[in-house]
Structure 1
Amino acid sequence: MTAPPSATSPAAPSFRDVRGRGFSRRSTLDAAWTWIDGRIAPPSARPLPLAECGALVLSEAVAALGDWPPSARAATDGYAVAAADTLGAGSYNPVPLAGALAVVAGDPLPPGCDAVIPYEAAQAAGPVVEAVDAVAPGSGVERRGAWMAAGSPLLPAGRRLRPADLGLLAAAGHRILPVLPAPRVRILLAGGPKAGAAEQLGDMLAALVRRDGGTVEAVAPLPADIDALADAFTRPGADLILSAGRTGTGPDDVAPPALAKAGSLDFHGIAMRPGGSAGLGQAAGGPVLLIPGEPMAALAAYELLAGRAVRHAAGLPAGLPHATVQAVTVRKLVSEIGCVDLHRVRLDDGGRVEPVASPGWPGLAAAARADGFVLIGADSEGVPDGGAVTMYRFA
C-alpha cells in the first residue's frame, strides 16, 4: 500500500518525555513505515515437517517430485473397460462387457482398460456386465501426470501455505518444506488498577497477530511501572514486542520512558487518528511497538503500524492485508489536515459508504458495525459527498 501523503516532518525525533506537556510534533506515517521496513525482517528459513507448515511462508519455490497421479487411475466409480468394447451400446442394444472390472475412484486402471463406464451407463445381467451407453477412450480416467508432471512448478517462494496446498504437496511427494518460521510476538498490556480498557486488548491483538502470520509468545498484563515494563522489553524469547497502553501524555503513561530506559524510543507520536500516541523503538536488539490502550486507537495503530511489523517478520507482503472495495461516499468524510485519518464506514448495496463514527470516537462498537475503513491522507480536509474512495474491508 502506498503511504497516504503527510504534511509533517518525516524525521524521527529524539526521545522527549511528553507527560504533562503534550506532543509538540508528530512523525509521519511514511517515516514510521520506513523505520519498520528497514529494521524488521523474517528469521532464517528452516526445514519443517509438512504437517507443521500450515499458514507459514515458503522460502523457496517448490516443484513436483514425480508425476501425479503416478499412473492412469479411475476418476469415478464404475467398471474399467476397453472403450472399443462399448461401441454401439444403447438402452435398446445392451453390449456384454466380458472384461469389465469394478473400480472405485482412485484405483489404478487395470491393464488393457482405457475408460471407466459409470454404474449409470451399465447394468448387471447375472454374472455379466452390459453397457447401455458407449464411452470414449479416456472417459472417467485421470491420466498419468494429469495434476502435475515431475519437475513442474507447484508453488512459488513467498507463498503462505493454505490447507489445500499441504494436500497438494503431500501428493507431490514432499514431506519436509523450507519455510520461514512464524515470528514470536510478545503482547504486553501496560495498565495496573487504572487500566480501564487495556485488559480488553489481549484477545483482539492475539487474533490480529495470528492473522498476520505471527505466533503469540505471551499475553502479559503488567502494572504501570517503568521498571516492570523495561524488564519485559528486554526479556529474551520474542522476535517482536507489542506493548498496549500507557502511551499518552498523562503522569502514569510510562510505556515510552520505559522503552527509552530499556533501549531506544525512536518515534513517539504519529500523525494519525486514532492511535496518534503510538511509538516505535528497540530493546535488547529487537523491535518494540507501543500502541495506545484505548481499544479503537489500539486497533488503528495495529492495522497501520504493528501489523506491518508482524507481516514483515513473517515474510509476508507489508501492505494492508484487507480486500478493497471501490466506492463513493454518501456524505462528506471530514478529516484533519496534517494527520492521516482512519474512518470506520458502512457499505450499502449501491456501492456507497457512510461513516459510522468519526476518527476520534473511541470504542470498538462502531468498528463492529462497520464493514471496513477508509484512509484519508494528511494533506486533505476530507472527501466530499459522492467522492470516490477505497474501502479496506474488515475480514
Structure 2
Amino acid sequence: MSTYEEARATILSKVAPIGVERVPLMDAVGRILAADFTAPWDIPAWDNSAMDGFAVRAEECAPGTTLKVTSFLPAGVTPGAPLENGCAARIMTGAPIPPGADSVVPHEETHSGEGVVTLLRGCVKGANVRVRGEDVAAGSNAITAGTVIGPPQVSLLASFSAAMVPVYRRPRVAIISTGDELVELGTQPAYGQIINSNILAVAAAVRLCGAEPLLLGIARDTMESHLDLLAEGLKADVLITSAGVSAGDRDLVRSALKKLGVVEEIWKVGVKPGGPMAFGTKEAVPVFSLPGNPVATMITFEEFVRPALLKMLGHGKPFRRRVKGFLSEPVRMKPGTLHFLRVAVTVENGRYLATTAGSQKSGTIKTMLRCNALALLPAERTDFTAGEEVDLHLLDNSLDMES
C-alpha cells in the first residue's frame, strides 16, 4: 500500500505532455503555450502619443507660449515633414510623433485659437509619449512556455498577428464503468440497478481539466467484456476505470489489465475515502483504476488523476491551492489512513474556517455538493478539536469571490 504522498509522486513521475499542436488563436484560450513566444517587432512599433493634444518641442514650452499649429495627426497616419521651430502639431491618441517633436501637451492644458495654440503650463521632455518598444521589445521573450492562454495573452499574440499558436495537445481520456448492476442514462432503473452516473461525473471532471473525455460505456462482469472494453480504452492517451478494483469475486479490473500488459505501479493507497485505487502504465498510457463509490471516485480523481492530467496538458503547477484553516467543530476519525474530510469553508476575520459538509460516507453524494474544500487529517490521529489548525485543499474559486 502506498502513502498519499508516495502515490502522487509515483503518478506524476510517469506522465508527461503528449505532444504539441498549432491551433487558431481563439482555440488556444485556456490551453498551455508550448513554446516561448518571441516578439517579432517592437510594441509600440513607433513613438506615439498617449493623449489627445499637441506634439511639441519641450524646450519651446514655457507657460504662456503660443505656437503655430501646422498639421493634424490622427491615429493611423504617417507623419509628413519634420516639426519646425515655433510650431506644434495637433495629435490624437495613438498617432505617431512627428519628426522633431519630443513631447505631447494634453488638449486640456492649452488654449486654442485660429491656427495657433497657447500653452497654459510648461512641458517636460518625453511627456505623454509612448516610446517605441517600451511595452515589448523586438526579440524579447514576450510570453513564456507553460503559460495559460487567457485574455491578456490573446491580446498580445493578436498584436503580433499570431494567428496560429503552439499549445500542448489535449489528452484523450477513455472512461469505463464496470458492473452488471449499471444501466445507462435515460433508463428507468429496476430494483437493484443504478444509473451509470460515475462515468459522467468523471467525464465532467476530465472536461473541466481541459482534456477530452471518451465515454466507452459499461464493462459487464465477465472477463471477455472487461478485456474488450479495456483494450479499446488503452488506445486513448489515458484510461480511467470506475469500480471493480477491490477484491470481490466480480472485481475483474486488476486481472484484466494485467492480461493486457498494464504494469501495476500502485495497488491501494492509505487514504479514505478512495483506498482501493490502483495505477499502472501500458507504455506511455497511464491507467487509473478508481473505486466505485461516487464520492470515492470524485475524490480520488481530484487528488490523483487531476494533477496528472494537468501535467499532461503542460501545466507547471498541477495541484490545488493548499492553505491552513481551522476546524469549527471537533472531529473523530479512525486512525491508520489519511482522511479527506469534506468541509464547507468560509473566511472569517481573515481565517479559513472549516465545517463538516455532512455525512462522510463514501456514497453520500450531497456532501460533495456542499463542500468547497477537503481537510487532510493525518493518519496517526484520531481526535481533532474545534479550533485546531488543519491543511485544506481548496476545490474551487468560490472563496476568492464575493456576492
- Post-superposition Cα deviations, 1:77-118, rounded to whole Å, max 9, x if no partner, equal 4444444555314xxxx9455146353433322333333344
**8 Å CA contact 2:109, 2:120 repeated in 1:** yes
Write out the 4+ residue segments of structure 1 that deviate beyond 6 Å after TM superposition.
Answer: none
1:219 and 2:215 aligned: yes
- Cα distance between partner residues in 2 of 1:318 and 1:75: 38
1:67 and 2:68 aligned: no
1:98 and 2:95 aligned: no
**8 Å CA contact 1:81, 1:100 repeated in 2:** no
SS where residue 182 of structure 2 aligns? coil
Aligned to 1:41: 16
SS where residue 33 of structure 1 aligns? helix
Alpha-carbon distance change, 376 to 81 in structure 1, aligned in 2, over 3 angstroms? same
Aligned to 1:21: none
Counting only pairs closer than 5 Å after superposition, residues 350-365 of structure 1 correspond to structure 2 as 350=349, 351=351, 352-357=353-358, 359-365=360-366
TM-score normalised by the chain length of structure 1: 0.78
Aligned to 2:308: 309
- Cα distance between partner residues in 2 of 1:59 and 1:277: 36
Aligned to 2:334: 336
Larger Rg belongs to? 2
- Cα distance between partner residues in 2 of 1:131 and 1:333: 73
Counting only pairs closer than 5 Å after superposition, residues 316-335 of structure 1 correspond to structure 2 as 316-317=315-316, 319-320=318-319, 322-335=320-333
**8 Å CA contact 1:198, 1:295 repeated in 2:** no
Amino acid at match of 2:237: D
1:292 and 2:280 aligned: no
- Cα distance between partner residues in 1 of 2:195 and 2:57: 71
Q: Which of 92, 102, 108 is the matching residue for 1:114?
A: 102
In the TM superposition, what is the alpha-carbon distance from 1:240 to its structure 2 partner?
A: 0.6
In the alignment of these two chains, the number of paired residues is 364
Alpha-carbon distance change, 186 to 123 in structure 1, aligned in 2, over 3 angstroms? farther
Where do 5+ consecutive residues of structure 1 fail to align?
Answer: 1-25
- Cα distance between partner residues in 1 of 2:18 and 2:106: 52
Amino acid at match of 1:240: V
**8 Å CA contact 2:219, 2:229 repeated in 1:** no
- Post-superposition Cα deviations, 1:305-352, rounded to whole Å, max 9, x if no partner, equal 1112212322324652x2333222222333332212111222331422
**Greater relative contact order structure (CA < 8 Å, 6+ sep):** 1
- Cα distance between partner residues in 1 of 2:374 and 2:28: 32
| Structural RMSD (CA) | 3.3
Amino acid at match of 2:69: A
Alpha-carbon distance change, 285 to 298 in structure 1, aligned in 2, over 3 angstroms? same
Alpha-carbon distance change, 27 to 358 in structure 1, aligned in 2, over 3 angstroms? farther
In the TM superposition, what is the alpha-carbon distance from 1:165 to its structure 2 partner?
A: 1.8
**8 Å CA contact 1:344, 1:355 repeated in 2:** yes
- Cα distance between partner residues in 2 of 1:210 and 1:73: 44
Aligned to 2:344: 346
SS where residue 148 of structure 2 aligns? coil
- Give the % identical residues: 24
**8 Å CA contact 2:322, 2:394 repeated in 1:** yes
Amino acid at match of 2:297: A
Aligned to 2:30: 55
SS where residue 325 of structure 1 aligns? strand
Alpha-carbon distance change, 280 to 74 in structure 1, aligned in 2, over 3 angstroms? same
TM-score normalised by the chain length of structure 2: 0.76
